[in-house]
Each structure stands twice: as structure tokens, then as C-alpha cells.
Structure 1
Amino acid sequence: MESQTERTAGMTSAITGTTRGIARAAVRAELAQVAFDLFRRNGFDKVTLDDLASAAGVSRSTFLRYFRTKEDAVLGAFDAQGEKLAAALRDRPAAEDDWTALRRAMDCVLDPYRKDPEHSLALAALVRETSALCARHLEKQDGWRATLARSLAERSGSPGPGTLAQTVRAAAALDCLNAALDHWTASDGHSDLDTLLDEAFAVLAT
């Protein structure tokens, strides 16, 4: 039977681990903001890792412990989106068809754009205007496609990688998202992003 001392030690360890995780996330967010500001001011291609470390007041090795590349310093903001989107998709009502469920699940991706449109617009513009960032972001989304297809398969009661049709729908949904974001960015944020995404999905609804 576990002693009180062992239970206390376990709780202390868990709290310490949680505290370290929170502190690391805070440092990571601060470094990402410094990098983002520098990229916007000087241009992504002109900024080096040494420039980023210097602007953040840390060593290059410290910066690299949080971000392996310059691209990661920008695109880290999207890291959790794939799993978050997949979870939202799995939680959609079973009665919804795949296409409707995909559109409604996309609402969780749009939340940051609704809450902070100014920052989100600047981030979207930076990614779309920088070939290295755009390519890396699309690479990340390629992994989301497989995750979404699996979620669609789970909704249909057939766990696995998903059928060809489910994979195509997942890929098309992501294309609709990107097209809507492109138009929203081109409008300088004046267009309604939810409406643009609805219109994009409507094109393929049949």
C-alpha cells in the first residue's frame, strides 16, 4: 500500500512537472512573438537564427531548444490544430453527413481568427507571402489529412485509415479552408471568414 510520503512525493513531482511545462510554454510563446515581430519588420528570409536569439536575449543554443528552425518559430502556432480539428470532427453528431461534420469541425480552427483578427491576419499574410513557410505549412496539413480521414472512419464505425472517399473529403475540406483564408487575407481581413468558408464548402456540397 502506498504510504503518505510516497503519495506526497508523487503529487509534488506531478506539480513540478506541470509547472515546468507551463514555464516552457510561456518561454516558447515569448520567443515565438519576438521572432514574429522580427520577421514582419525585416522579412523572413533576411533574419537569421542568430538574429532571433539576439533579439530574444538568449543564446542560439537556447533558442534551438524551443524551435529547431525559423519556420517552426512561426508555424508552431498551428501545431495543435490538426489534432484539435480531428477531435472536433469525432465529436460531431453521428447523424451529420461527413461534409457537414467537416465544416462544423472547422469552427475550432477559425476561433483564433475571430478572437484576434489583427494578429491572425498578419500571421496568415506572413505565411502566404513566404515560400518556405507556405511549403512547410502545407506539409503539416498533409498530416492533418490522414488524421481527419481516420476521424471520419471512426464516425462511420469503421476504425482505420479511412476509405478513399473519406480521404478525398478530408483533403477537399483543407483545400476549402486554405482557399477561404487566401481570400480573407487578400481582402485585408474585411471579408467575413466564416462566410468565405461556407461558400467554399457549398461549391463542393453536391
Structure 2
Amino acid sequence: MSLWSRTRNAVYGEITRTAMELFLERGFEATTIDDIAAAAGISRRSFFRYFGTKEDVVLGDLAARGELIRDALQARPESEDAWTALVSAMHAVKAGLAETDAEMLKIFKMVHETPSLRARSIEKHLQWQAALTPEVRRRLGADPADPADVRAEALVATVLTCLDVASEAWARCDGAVPLEGLFDGAVAAIRG
């Protein structure tokens, strides 16, 4: 990685940390881009070199997490059926995240309580669906050229909905029940 890339990543990380502190302290809606720029010691214009919107600060790496799930899915044993492989890939990525459960809980609460973040989160999940569907199609033996075969899209959308329902319940119960347990419960309800 070049010096320029490392520097850009460091600045991106610093702006993200600063913004998240402000969001969690003041609330997402009450924190302005000018507040973030001032706290990070950058101009408003510099903020927009790194982020398109305030929502991107919170949800910017969700697209990359979709790629991590796709990679974990592709690494699952061929002997696993598509559903099991997809659920296992979700667990594998959760286990490898850098955030603590307490940090994730704060972020999930903010996302579920803020309509603009909620909308962007759904948009990111649609990107995940597009990234995951080809591998699920392959595992199902589906013809990628058949637009009428909706099995892969349905499986991916269902697992993502289970994740969304579990994360919302996790935020509601203030983390009293482990997120993984809620996700597994949602998945079991579908399979039951």
C-alpha cells in the first residue's frame, strides 16, 4: 500500500472515530457536518473528499462487510447446502469484526432510531444481496441466465432480513440477549 493510501486511510479512520464520538454523544441528527469537520480539524470541503454524506460515516464500511461475507461464503465447504453456508458465513464475519459488542450495540441503536440511517442501511443490504446471490445461485445449481429462478435471491434476502430483525431486537433489548442468539432464533423460525 502506498504512503498516499496509508495516509488517506488514517485520515478516513480519524474522521470516522471523531464523528462517531459526536454522534453517540450528541445524537446523529444533532451533529452537523460542520461539527465533525471542526472536531476533526479539517474543512467541510475535506470532509466531502472522504464521505458523500453524514450517513456514509456510520455505514460506509457496510459495503465492504458484504464483500467479507461473500468471501466467507465462497470459502464454505462445498458439502454445505446454500442456506447453511450463507448463515455460517454471516457468523464467520461477525466473529472477525473489530468492534466490541458494546460499540456495535450503540451503532445499531443509532441506525434503528434514525430514519436516514435506516434507509441507507437497507440500501447497503441490497448491495450485499447483489454480492451474495451469484455464489448462492452456484450452490443451488441455478442457471445464472434464468431470470425466473428466484431461489437464490429469496434465500439471500431472507437471511439478510433475519439479520435485520435480530439487530433491531438486539438494540431494543439493549444487548441483554446475544446478537448471535437472536440471529439464530430468526433463522430457526424460518427453517422450522
Give 2:79's match in structure 1, choosing from 95, 108, 130: 95
Cα distance change, pair 114–18 in 1 and its aligned pair in 2 (3 A): closer
Cα distance change, pair 102–27 in 1 and its aligned pair in 2 (3 A): same
Counterpart code for 1:34:
T
Give CA deviations for 1:147-200 in whole Å, capped at 9, x if unaligned: 211111233455737830111000000000111111111121121222211111
- Separation (CA, whole Å) in 2 of partners of 1:177 and 1:158: 24
Number of matched pairs: 190
Larger Rg: 1
Give CA deviations for 1:99-143 in whole Å, capped at 9, x if unaligned: 111110101332266851111111111111111001011011112
CA contact (8 A) 1:83 1:147 kept: yes
- Separation (CA, whole Å) in 2 of partners of 1:114 and 1:83: 16
CA contact (8 A) 2:166 2:186 kept: yes
CA contact (8 A) 2:133 2:156 kept: yes
> Normalised by the size of structure 1, how large is the TM-score?
0.85
> Normalised by the size of structure 2, how large is the TM-score?
0.90
- Separation (CA, whole Å) in 1 of partners of 2:18 and 2:41: 10
Q: Does 1:179 align with 2:172?
A: no
Deviates more, 1:188-197 or 1:151-160: 151-160
Question: What is the match of residue 175 of structure 2?
Answer: 189
- Separation (CA, whole Å) in 2 of partners of 1:172 and 1:156: 15
Give 2:63's match in structure 1, choosing from 79, 86, 98: 79
Higher-RCO chain (CA-CA 8 Å, sequence separation at least 6): 2
Question: What is the match of residue 155 of structure 2?
Answer: 169
Q: Does 1:28 align with 2:12?
A: yes
Give 1:52's match in structure 2, choosing from 36, 43, 46: 36
Question: What is the match of residue 7 of structure 1?
Answer: none
Question: What is the match of residue 155 of structure 1?
Answer: 139
- Report sequence identity in percent: 38
CA contact (8 A) 1:90 1:152 kept: no
- Separation (CA, whole Å) in 1 of partners of 2:62 and 2:132: 15
Cα distance change, pair 160–24 in 1 and its aligned pair in 2 (3 A): farther
Structure 1 outlier segments of 4+, above 6 Å: none
Deviates more, 1:43-52 or 1:68-77: 43-52
Counterpart code for 1:176:
C
Question: What is the match of residue 43 of structure 1?
Answer: 27
Counterpart code for 1:202:
A
- Separation (CA, whole Å) in 1 of partners of 2:169 and 2:189: 15
- Separation (CA, whole Å) in 2 of partners of 1:114 and 1:46: 27
